[in-house]
């Protein structure tokens, strides 16, 4: 079995005709490296060559005819294949091809519409979203480039999953097997990508898995140039391109994105669902915790030993376009201390941890119970030093989510920085100084980047708000709703915390006044969450004004129904201008629609 990095197109292209012979057969897949345990799974291959995960890349310019044969060499199993059809798809085009064991079928179709597509199969008679086990890697990318010119260089990243149950299921306990891969490999064995400062980075990301994935890029924004569903693909105009640090990808969704690295260092691109990048054993098997592990983070290198799964590492080096270092007037630097402490009332298995903010004066008093981290309010262009003081009985680290900063301060212990200087774990009783100058105003997050499945629901997450210079922070009209998960695993299956509470304090608004509400989803397992603002007559109206800290273009700041999806690691700002006094309800709902949390909203004259 070969791991396919999607850099070489399969088949033979001559005179506008691609000839390709595919087959499906069993092979031994080793997603954790060539020396790691493997599993026998069916995979696609070019005839006469080793099977590949993901399957062979079909890549052609628009206007290409495809003559394809497919042979089923999987014993005693009917192979059902989808996606091998024309683009654009016509009403006469069939999406399903069945191949009996030992049989060969032929197809002829034309690829006219540029875009990012895929094909997939099953040997177990399953639907796309139920392919979670043995045949979940029967997938491959189809790329149709613009005709008549050489396409700019890009990389094709295919997301795959191999797990016990169908994706998106909220479970009261952890799955025994949960393996997440990019181009057939699981972190830290995924391919490391390298660029230089100033490069234009182009990726095509295909979620050919049964699960939803909010894909987060550390340190930089990226533009979403197009989205597709495997059958069609939509490219956006400049004003229509989302400018994000986290983008939710539903099962079967594709996207084409662009970003430009402006600073050297090591950076991550990963799914922001903690269990999708949490530590697992070989082949995604759950690792039993060693005795006493609930009170200490027992890894010597967090990046290599404390994370696994759906993650890609990116190294950016200095190049001819290297930017000059920002000259900082140290006299203007603001100094804060962020205390990481235990709150009273927790336990070793389900602790209550908390952030406390100190800027001169005595330390804040000790706290108890569940809490959201306090809002850290900064000013665009003003340098800041945040000294993280770890008072916990276990190691931690803090990631400044969405902030464009130097890699060393990004907060991924054992990876952020460079080979000469890697960001450390913050040991119990130790500290770490993060230094940066926020380059833009907006809504961001600070949260732990160590043992997120344990520390994040314990309370280690909070809002990070950056204001324009000379704009005062007025909590009467500038409100934050941080949505997080309870530390109790049973409560987590039926509720979310709103600003750290199951019974949150109400938001108070005034008639005729524009209020900014900053939503943050930092839950453990609610990537399909949506929020709604509801009155007696149903959903009211608001205006979406920003996403991930970046203002939306004026053409997209439209007033509409107060309902929006917000995935893990995303922030969305809305503007609410109440027209009359009364009582409203801010509701958090699961993807399936059931209620997870309510925050009262009181409208006064």
Same domain, residue pair 451 and 369: yes
> What pairing do the DSSP bridges indicate for beta strands 334-342 and 201-207?
unpaired
Residue 134: per-residue pLDDT: 81
> What residues make up the domain containing 201?
2-283
Are 425 and 301 within 8 A, CB to CB?
Answer: no
In a domain, 315, yes or no: no
Residue 257: per-residue pLDDT: 98
In a domain, 316, yes or no: no
β-partners of residue 384 are 334, 436
Give the span between the Cα atoms of 580 and 541, in whole angstroms: 13
In a domain, 297, yes or no: no
Same domain, residue pair 550 and 501: yes
Please work out, in degrees rounded to the nearest 5, the angle formed at the alpha carbon of residue 555 by the alpha carbons of 549 and 561: 75
Compute CA distances 71 → 20, 108, 135, 378, whole Å: 11, 15, 16, 61
Residue 299: per-residue pLDDT: 61
In a domain, 290, yes or no: no
In a domain, 59, yes or no: yes
CA torsion sign, 96 to 100 to 106 to 111? positive
Last residue of a domain, one of 442, 472, 502: 472
Residue that is written with structure tokens 């004026």 in the block: 554
Which residue, 381, 333, 391, is CA-closest to 359?
A: 333
Same domain, residue pair 509 and 556: yes
Rg of the chain's alpha carbons, rounded to an integer?
Answer: 25
Same domain, residue pair 434 and 516: no
Which DSSP state fits 133?
S
Give the span between the Cα atoms of 557 and 555, in whole angstroms: 6
Same domain, residue pair 262 and 355: no
User: Residue 293 contacts by C-beta under 8 Å, 6 or more apart in sequence?
Assistant: none
Label residue 306 left, alpha or beta by phi (over 0 means left) and psi (-120 to 50 means alpha): alpha
- The CATH number assigned to the domain holding 517 equals 2.60.40.420
Same domain, residue pair 544 and 592: yes
> What pairing do the DSSP bridges indicate for beta strands 571-576 and 541-547?
antiparallel
The tally of domains found in the chain comes to: 3
In a domain, 424, yes or no: no
Same domain, residue pair 274 and 348: no
- Helix ranges (H only) for 222-332 are 274-277, 302-305
Residue 493: per-residue pLDDT: 83
pLDDT (tens digit per residue) in 543-571: 999 999 999 999 999 999 999 999 999 99
In a domain, 313, yes or no: no
CA torsion sign, 44 to 48 to 49 to 51? positive
Instruction: Give Cα 189 to chain centroid, integer Å.
Output: 18
Q: Which phi and psi angles does 539 have, rounded to 5°?
A: -65, 130
Which residue, 286, 289, 280, 285, is CA-closest to 309?
A: 280
Burial 421-451 (b: 16+ CB within 10 A, else e): ebbbbbebeeebebebbbebbbbbbbbbbbb
pTM of the shown model: 0.95
Same domain, residue pair 468 and 494: no
In a domain, 157, yes or no: yes
pLDDT (tens digit per residue) in 473-517: 999 999 999 999 998 877 778 999 999 999 999 999 999 999 999
Residue 290: per-residue pLDDT: 54
Same domain, residue pair 373 and 468: yes
Residue 415: per-residue pLDDT: 96
Last residue of a domain, one of 222, 256, 283: 283
What SS3 state is found at 350?
coil
Compute CA distances 47 → 24, 64, 65, whole Å: 9, 21, 19
Weakly modelled stretches of the chain, pLDDT under 70: 91-93, 165-174, 288-300, 321-326
Residue 165: per-residue pLDDT: 67
Same domain, residue pair 237 and 212: yes
Same domain, residue pair 438 and 532: no
Give the span between the Cα atoms of 440 and 405, in whole angstroms: 11
Helix, strand, coil shares of the chain as percentages rounded to 5? 5, 45, 50
Last residue of a domain, one of 414, 446, 472: 472
Same domain, residue pair 275 and 155: yes
């Amino acid at each position: 079995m070969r791991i396919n990095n999607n850099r070489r197109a399969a088949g033979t292209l001559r005179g506008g005709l691609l000839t390709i012979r595919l087959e499906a057969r069993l092979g031994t897949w080793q997603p954790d490296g060539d020396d790691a345990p493997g599993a026998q799974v069916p995979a696609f291959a070019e005839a006469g060559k080793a099977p590949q995960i993901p399957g062979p890349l079909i890549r052609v310019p628009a206007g290409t005819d495809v003559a394809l044969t497919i042979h089923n060499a999987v014993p005693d199993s009917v192979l059902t294949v989808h996606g091998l059809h024309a683009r654009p798809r016509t009403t006469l085009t069939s999406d399903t091809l069945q191949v009996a064991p030992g049989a060969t079928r032929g197809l002829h179709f034309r690829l006219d519409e540029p875009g990012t597509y895929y094909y997939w199969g099953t040997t177990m008679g399953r639907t796309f979203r139920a392919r979670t086990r043995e045949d979940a890697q029967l997938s491959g990318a189809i790329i149709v480039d613009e005709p008549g010119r050489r396409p700019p260089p890009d990389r094709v990243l295919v997301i795959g999953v191999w797990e016990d149950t169908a994706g998106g299921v909220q479970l009261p306990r952890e799955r025994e097997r949960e393996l997440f891969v990019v181009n057939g490999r699981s972190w830290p064995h995924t391919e490391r990508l390298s660029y230089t400062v100033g490069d234009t980075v182009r990726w095509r990301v295909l979620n050919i898995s049964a699960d939803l994935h909010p894909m987060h890029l550390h340190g930089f924004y990226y533009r979403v140039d197009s989205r597709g569903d495997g059958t069609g693909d939509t490219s956006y105009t400049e004003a229509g391109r989302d400018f994000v640090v986290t983008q939710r990808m539903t099962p079967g969704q594709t996207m084409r994105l662009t970003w430009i690295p402006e600073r050297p260092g090591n950076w991550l691109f990963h799914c922001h669902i903690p269990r999708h990048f949490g530590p697992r054993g070989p082949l995604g098997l759950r690792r039993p915790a060693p005795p006493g592990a609930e009170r200490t983070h027992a890894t010597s290198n967090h990046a290599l030993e404390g994370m696994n799964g759906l993650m890609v590492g990116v190294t950016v080096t200095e190049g001819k376009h290297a930017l000059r270092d920002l000259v900082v007037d140290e006299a203007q630097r603001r100094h804060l201390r962020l205390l990481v402490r235990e709150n009273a009332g927790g336990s070793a298995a389900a602790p209550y941890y908390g952030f406390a903010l100190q800027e001169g004066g005595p330390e804040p008093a000790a706290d108890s119970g569940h809490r959201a981290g306090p809002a850290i309010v900064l000013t665009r262009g003003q340098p800041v030093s945040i000294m993280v003081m770890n008072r916990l009985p276990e190691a931690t680290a803090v990631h400044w989510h969405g902030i464009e900063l130097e890699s060393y301060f990004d907060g991924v212990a054992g990876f952020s920085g460079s080979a000469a200087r890697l960001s450390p774990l913050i040991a119990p009783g130790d500290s770490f100084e993060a230094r940066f100058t926020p380059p833009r105003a907006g809504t961001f997050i600070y949260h732990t980047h160590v043992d997120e499945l344990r520390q994040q629901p314990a309370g280690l997450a909070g809002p990070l708000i950056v204001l324009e210079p000379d704009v005062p922070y007025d909590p009467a009209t500038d409100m934050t709703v941080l949505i997080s998960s309870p530390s109790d695993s049973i409560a987590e299956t039926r509720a979310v915390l709103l600003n750290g509470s199951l019974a949150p304090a109400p938001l108070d608004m005034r008639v005729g006044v524009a209020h900014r509400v900053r939503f943050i989803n930092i839950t453990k397992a609610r990537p399909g969450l949506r929020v709604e603002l509801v009155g007696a007559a149903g959903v009211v109206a608001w205006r979406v004004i920003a996403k991930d800290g970046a203002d939306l273009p004026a053409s997209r700041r439209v007033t509409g129904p107060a309902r929006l999806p917000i995935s893990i690691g995303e922030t969305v700002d809305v503007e609410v201008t109440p027209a009359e006094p009364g009582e409203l309800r801010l509701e958090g709902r699961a993807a399936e629609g059931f209620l997870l949390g309510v925050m009262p909203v009181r409208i006064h004259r």
